[in-house]
Amino acid sequence: MDAMKTGCFIARKRKERNMSQRELAEYLHITDKAISKWERGLSFPDITILIPLSEILG
């Protein structure tokens, strides 16, 4: 799995919904710094976040 591709995908879907990193973080009950790390390809979302993340981003 490519962290940069995953991060770009998350960022694109978030922006399509006109959400800030902070808003997405609040929905997921995590920090906006975690969202930033995903989008920069530095880390992946935790497996427990994937279902809520997919529901929010469609």
pLDDT (tens digit per residue) in 1-33? 799 999 999 999 999 999 999 999 999 999 999
Residue 35: both structure tokens together:
């969202």
Identify the pLDDT of residue 1. Answer: 76
Mean pLDDT throughout 36-55?
A: 96
Q: Tell me how far apart the alpha carbons of residues 30 and 56 are, in angstroms, rounded to a whole number.
A: 14
Instruction: Give the count of alpha carbons within 13 A of 57, CB side only.
Output: 21
Look up the pTM and report it. Answer: 0.90
Q: How far is CA 24 from CA 1, 4, in A?
A: 22, 19
Q: Tell me how far apart the alpha carbons of residues 1 and 19 are, in angstroms, rounded to a whole number.
A: 25
Q: Where are the domains of the chain?
A: 3-57
Looking at domain 3-57, which CATH architecture does it have? Orthogonal Bundle (1.10)
